């Protein structure tokens, strides 16, 4: 079956670092995506990993281990505006469809 797991909610303090984990079991693998979605707004693309390792983009980094079926999104120097839901999605190799997790709601406190 297809399954994406990520924590439902996380909290962190402004200026801190937070790591949001995502584990997946899918029929084949053709890339992992992270999206950010503020309440009432469109999801926006953050990162794409298809090879193992760390992809850094400013304050955000995403890591992938294909052998472990595991990814994380690392947010550094947290700001209040980072309070949002973070969606992990995997593209299945068999169907090329994007399978989404339920999202992790991150709240950043002062």
Where does this chain bind another protein (CB under 8 A)?
4, 30-31, 33, 35, 40-45, 48, 87, 89, 91, 96-103
Closer CB to another protein, 103 or 108, in the complex = 103
Q: How far is the CB of 110 from another protein (least distance, A)?
A: 27
The three-state secondary structure class of 87 is: strand
Query: Strands 9-13 and 104-109, how do they pair?
Result: parallel
Residue 25 CB, shortest distance to another protein, in Å, is: 14
Query: Closest separation between CB of residue 45 and another protein, Å?
Result: 5
DSSP 10-76: EEEETT--EEEEEEEE-SS---EEEEEE-TTS--EEEEEE-SSEEEEETTEEEEEETTTTEEEEEE-
CB closer to another protein, 41 vs 77 = 41
Give the nearer residue to another protein in terms of CB position, either 62 or 78. Answer: 62
């Amino acid at each position: 079956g297809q399954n994406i797991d990520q924590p439902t909610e996380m909290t962190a303090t402004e200026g801190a670092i937070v790591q949001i984990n995502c584990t997946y079991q899918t029929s084949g693998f053709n890339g992992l995506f992270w999206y950010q979605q503020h309440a009432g707004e469109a999801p926006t693309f953050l990162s794409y990993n298809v090879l193992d390792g760390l992809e850094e983009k400013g304050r955000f980094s995403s890591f992938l281990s294909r052998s472990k079926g595991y990814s994380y999104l690392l947010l550094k120097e947290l700001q209040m505006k980072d309070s949002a839901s973070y969606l992990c999605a995997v593209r299945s190799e068999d169907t090329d469809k994007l399978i989404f997790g339920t999202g992790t709601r991150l709240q950043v406190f002062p």
